[in-house]
Amino acid sequence: MIFDRLYSRYVAASVVSLGVDFTVFISVLALGVWPAPAAACGYAAGILSHWLLSTRAVFVGRVAEGMERRHQQALFVGSALVGLAITTAIVGLGSRLGVDPRIAKIVAVGASFQVTYVLRKKVVFA
């Protein structure tokens, strides 16, 4: 079932992290930064939030110890970079096409969410 407990906890952690992401994104946009770099800044803040929530509330019992934890962190960052690339590309393309950056960011969130969930479930915390 797609809405199992793990997925539900991941959705909750993602909602919180998205709040961090959007708050930073909108704040950086308000400072006059271009939409794509502003999206990248927000996403980076969301990555940190998501790691903390993922390791403490989502993938409990799957978090590695010692040196293996560093490897797991690197994989997590790698999955986040994939999501960042998707987010930045969609927001950048959207802004070039005249789409409101906030709307483009919402589209990017949906795309990067699904990709990073699969990567984290199947690779990072497998």
- Walk along the chain (126 residues) and give the pLDDT tens digit of each residue: 456 888 899 999 999 998 999 899 999 999 999 988 998 899 889 989 999 999 999 998 888 888 898 999 999 999 999 988 998 899 899 989 999 988 998 999 899 989 999 999 999 998
3-state SS track over 7-55: HHHHHHHHHHHHHHHHHHHHHHHHCCCCHHHHHHHHHHHHHHHHHHHHH
DSSP 3-state of 73: helix
The answer to whether 76 and 122 have CB atoms below 8 angstroms apart is no
Residue 54: phi, psi to the nearest 5? -65, -40
DSSP 118: H
DSSP 64: -
Could you tell me the CA-to-CA distances from 39 to 1, 95, 124 in Å, in that order? 32, 11, 24
